[in-house]
Homo-oligomer: A and B are copies of this chain.
Amino acid sequence: MAPLFASIQADMAKVESRLQSELRHTDPFVDELAQRSFRMGGKRLRPALLLLAAQAVGEINDDHHTLAAVVEMIHTATLVHDDVLDEAAIRRHEDTVNARWNNQTSVLLGDYLFTHAFFLASSLETTLGCRTIGRATNTVCEGELRQTAASGNFSLTRSNYFEIIGAKTAALCACCCQLGAHYANADPQIVRSLDRFGHLLGIAFQIVDDLLDLVGEEQTVGKSLGTDLAKHRMTLPLIELRDQLDPEQQQKLQSLLEEPNAENMTTLIDWLDRSGALQQARELANDYARQAIQQLANLADSPAKRALQEIAAASVSRCA
C-alpha cells in the first residue's frame, strides 16, 4: 500500500520519528519492549488515514503528527492485548510479545502504550483530541467486550455483528479521519463526511479481515488465521450461510462449528463457498467500500483524495 502514501511521505517520516522518540526509555527492559511494539504495528494505516484526511481537506500541521503517533500507539496497544486474548502464535511474522515473554508483560506493555498515547494527546492545546480519542478507544473496548460475550452464540444476528465490528474496528478509523479533517480546520460538514468515510472503510476492512480469517493464507496475511472459528465467533460468511439454511441444516452447521477440527473446517469452507455465502460477504464488503468512497464526492480532486479512494478499494481487493 506504500505508493498510496506518496503525498504524505515526509509527514509519515515525521510520525515515525515521533513514535520512535516517544517510546524510548531509560530502563532497558521498558525500552526494549516499547521499541519492539513500535515494529509490530505494520502498515501504519491509521496514521496514514489521519494525514490523508487532513491533506484532502486542507494542510497537515504538527498537531496531525502528534495525533497520528497517538492513534498508532493505541492501535499497537490493542494488538498487544489481542495477542494475550487470542494466544496468537504469529503476528507480523514475528513472535508475539506474549509468546516471547508472558501474559503479564503483554498486559502491562499494552497499558503502557495506552497511557502514553493519552499523555501525548494531552500535549495539544485543547481537550478535543483527548476527548475524541478517549471516546473512540472506549468504543473499541466495548466492541471487543461484546465480541467476547457473543463467543459461541450461534444465533448472533447480522445487526449485532455489524454493531460489534462498527465498535471494535470502524470507530478508530472514523476517529482518525475525523481528527485529520478537524485539525485541518475543515467545515463541520466535511469533518462529518470524513468521519463517515472512516467508519464505512472500517466496516469493509473488518468484513474482509473476517473473510481472510476463514479462507486466507497465513503467509500472505502475515498473522495467525482461523482464530474466529477457534473462538466460536460467528462472522459474516457464517451468518449469511446460517440464514439461508433450514433448521436441520442449521443443526449440522452448528455441529461443525462446535468442533473446529481440520476435517470439519474443510467441509465448512467448501459449504461456505458452494452456498454463495463467501461471495455474499465479499459483495457486502465491496458495497461498504463504495459507500465510503461516495463520502468523498464533495472534495476537490487531489493526490490525497485519490489515495483515500484507493485505500478503500485496496481494503476489499485483498479478498477478491
Contact = CB atoms under 8 A, between A and B. Distances in A.
A85 B108 contact: yes
A81 interface: yes
Interface in A60-109: 78, 81, 84-85, 103-105, 107-109
Interface in A113-150: 114-116, 118-127, 130-131, 133-135, 137-138, 140-142, 144-146, 148-149
A109 B141 CA distance: 8
20 contacts: A27-B142, A27-B146, A29-B146, A33-B145, A78-B111, A84-B84, A84-B103, A84-B104, A84-B107, A85-B103, A85-B108, A112-B138, A112-B141, A114-B114, A115-B138, A118-B133, A119-B130, A119-B138, A122-B134, A123-B131
Interface of A: 25, 27, 29-30, 33, 78, 81, 84-85, 103-105, 107-112, 114-116, 118-127, 130-131, 133-135, 137-138, 140-142, 144-146, 148-149
Given A25-B142, A108-B148, A122-B127, 15 more contacts: A27-B142, A29-B146, A30-B142, A30-B149, A81-B107, A103-B103, A104-B148, A105-B148, A107-B107, A110-B111, A114-B115, A115-B141, A116-B138, A121-B130, A122-B130
